[in-house]
Structure 1
Amino acid sequence: MIEDILSINQRPKMDEVEGVLFCLLNMLFYNDQKKTVETEQISIALGKDFVISFQEDAHRDVFDLLRSRLNMSNSKIRQRTADYLLYSMLDLIVDNYFIVMERLGEQIEMVEEEVIRRSNTKSLARINQLRKELIVLKRNLAPVRDLISGIIRSESDLLDDRTTKYFKDVYDHIMQAYDLGENYRDIVTGMQDLYINNVNLKLNEVMKVMAIVTCLLAPATVIGGIFGMNFEVIPYAHHKWGFYFAVGCMLIIPIWMLWVFRRRGWF
């Protein structure tokens, strides 16, 4: 158990060893400056009439509300057993997941609006960043779901039957958070597809314009090539109106082609 406490970056889990219920999971925080999800490992040991917690940074956690309740002598936490305190800690950790996911949801909406309005390489970079943060989120949500489920199924004497319903409530919350994370992942995947479609659409528009310009210049190229051949006799080559006739054809034919393209709805 001490080895698990001292080792960071572990997968959230729940163990029951020698009359102690041990929970290891991560608290999540959203860094507004870096736009990233940060994790901090916390270990909680539940024994008979005691709860001991260990965390990396003593100045950053989600237990301020719990501390204020503990300072109240008539609070429910002070009157209940130690397993209720464990429930309260897990409940605050899981509730904080929703705060992090709300920030991620705001970022997803901003990036989605940006992709719809103007797709560029920065948009793709932000999409990839969101995918990485959602991976971090999923790595923490799924194991915590199993952790809470293990506590509910546990037959430990440390857990009061009255407290089981509270852990079921935490389980419902973590399932809701997990489903929301899956929705976010689908949205980000859809944004990536939308970005690719927008890039392809822009490329198709460019290619269409280039194809139209090439088609419009084709008659002038053909006419200029014909009158530029080194033959002795070329119709209208030495006529006084030959130059104007050739230029007129170079202008009239592309205008007629534009009219045909427009009528057929090609642009």
Structure 2
Amino acid sequence: MVSLNVFHRQSVQPVADLDQISDLLLQPRTLIWLDLERPSPADIALLREEFGFHPLAIEDALQEHERPKIETYPGYYLIIFYSVEYDADARELRFLPITLFVGANYLVSIRPGSVRHVQQTLARWQTNSHVPGYQVSSVLYALIDAIVDDYFVVLDQIGEQIDEVEAAIFQRGRQEVASEIFTLKKDLLFFRRIVAPERDVLNVLLRQEVRIFQPRELAYVRDVYDHLVRVTESIDLYRDLLSSALDSYLSLQGNQLNQLVKVLTLWSIILMACSLVAGIYGMNFVLMPELEQPWGYPFALGLMATIALSLAIYFKRRKWW
């Protein structure tokens, strides 16, 4: 899917003919955004011919597990960010990379799947809501800000799932709860590995090592950076909560195992006492009067029952079961 948009002061005009890209790039006051979803070989050839992107930059753009970063090339910059979504049905996080080529009057985005932030950014520009000027940095800020703001929505959903896991520790089976905890910890760890490099990217922009934003626009970049700091703190907090939940779960399982071992031990004591009576009367001595009496067998069974009942009452009074 290919989408080409030309930005005006308070509107966005879609362009169907991609052959106009060359003419639009020659117009210094024209700002264009080319968005490629699952680019085909023809789309990749378009990037080489119209924009002259370096093969290594294009290779990074096509990788689905590339680390977030910012790189400088002659005449443009390469930025990789990640969109994060929570799949409520599968109860897992989905990470989708977005590669951005930022030039003087153009923005090219490449993504391997659907990302709603593109449409949100276009709508945001249409309403002219909190857009800091009319240039490529404005579109870049609007897109990154929409991506980072959505992190908080994902974190809220993760928080709700953690609450459910904590409540289920005392209700559901062992494997189910443990699996959810480890899945969440794995997702949060990967989330953390994404957010940390993205903070480094914004640090580069704030220090003006890359001249994309003007000094007057740095306040907007700093706001996005602060949001990423809050996201990082929330991720660390949730990881600590999951670690505590896992410790509580393992402690509960240990207590249940100890209780089971205690019950089995008490039953083994009762059975050992009964076995003692059976062992005594099972000895092959000749002079054992009870063996020749008609009441010998009922006496032995009654003695076993009396010992077992006495031990059971004793254990119950001591609250051992």
Q: Residue 238 of structure 2: which of 184, 190, 193 is its match?
A: 184
- Secondary structure of the 2:292 match is coil
Q: Residue 156 of structure 1: CA displacement? A: 4.0
C-alpha deviations, 1:155-192, integer Å up to 9, x for none? Answer: 44432111111111111111111111112222222333
Is 1:37–1:136's contact at 8 Å kept on the other side of the alignment? no
Instruction: Tell me whether 1:23 sits opposite 2:79 in the alignment.
Output: yes
Q: Residue 51 of structure 1: which of 89, 107, 121 is its match?
A: 107
State which drifts further: 223-232 or 155-164. 155-164
Aligned residue for 2:256?
Answer: 202
Query: Would you say how many aligned residue pairs link Structure 1 and Structure 2?
Result: 265
State which drifts further: 251-260 or 219-228. 251-260
Aligned residue for 1:39?
Answer: 95
**Structure 1: segments with no counterpart, 5+ residues:** none
Which AA in structure 2 matches 1:8?
A: E
What pairs up with 1:65-144 in 2 under 5 angstroms?
65-72=120-127, 76-77=130-131, 79-144=133-198
Separation of aligned partners in 1, 2:315 and 2:285? 35
Q: Residue 28 of structure 1: CA displacement? A: 1.2
C-alpha deviations, 1:106-142, integer Å up to 9, x for none? Answer: 2222222222223322222222322332232122111
**Structure 2: segments with no counterpart, 5+ residues:** 1-56
Aligned residue for 1:9?
Answer: 65
Structure possessing the higher relative contact order (Cα contacts under 8 Å, 6 or more residues apart):
1
Separation of aligned partners in 2, 1:5 and 1:219? 76
| TM superposition score normalised by structure 2 | 0.74
- Secondary structure of the 1:10 match is coil
Aligned residue for 2:31?
Answer: none
Instruction: Tell me whether 1:261 sits opposite 2:306 in the alignment.
Output: no
C-alpha deviations, 1:70-107, integer Å up to 9, x for none? Answer: 224x6553844432322221111111112222222222
Separation of aligned partners in 2, 1:60 and 1:156? 26
Which AA in structure 2 matches 1:115?
A: I
Aligned residue for 2:200?
Answer: 146
- Secondary structure of the 1:116 match is coil
| TM superposition score normalised by structure 1 | 0.88
1:183–1:78 Cα change, 3 Å: closer
Q: Residue 162 of structure 1: which of 205, 216, 223 is its match?
A: 216
Q: Residue 119 of structure 2: which of 64, 71, 76 is its match?
A: 64
Q: Residue 38 of structure 1: CA displacement? A: 1.6
Which AA in structure 2 matches 1:37?
A: L
Is 1:51–1:82's contact at 8 Å kept on the other side of the alignment? yes
- Secondary structure of the 2:291 match is coil
1:87–1:215 Cα change, 3 Å: same
- Secondary structure of the 2:169 match is helix
State which drifts further: 84-93 or 251-260. 251-260
State which drifts further: 124-133 or 204-213. 124-133
Which AA in structure 1 matches 2:78?
A: F
Is 1:131–1:188's contact at 8 Å kept on the other side of the alignment? yes
C-alpha deviations, 1:16-74, integer Å up to 9, x for none? Answer: 333433311111122222222222221223333443322223x43313332113224x6
1:26–1:244 Cα change, 3 Å: same
Separation of aligned partners in 1, 2:202 and 2:149? 14
Is 1:27–1:61's contact at 8 Å kept on the other side of the alignment? no
- Secondary structure of the 1:237 match is helix
Is 2:205–2:212's contact at 8 Å kept on the other side of the alignment? no
1:161–1:79 Cα change, 3 Å: closer
- Secondary structure of the 1:71 match is helix
- Secondary structure of the 1:233 match is coil
Separation of aligned partners in 1, 2:77 and 2:221? 14
Is 1:219–1:254's contact at 8 Å kept on the other side of the alignment? yes
- Secondary structure of the 2:64 match is coil
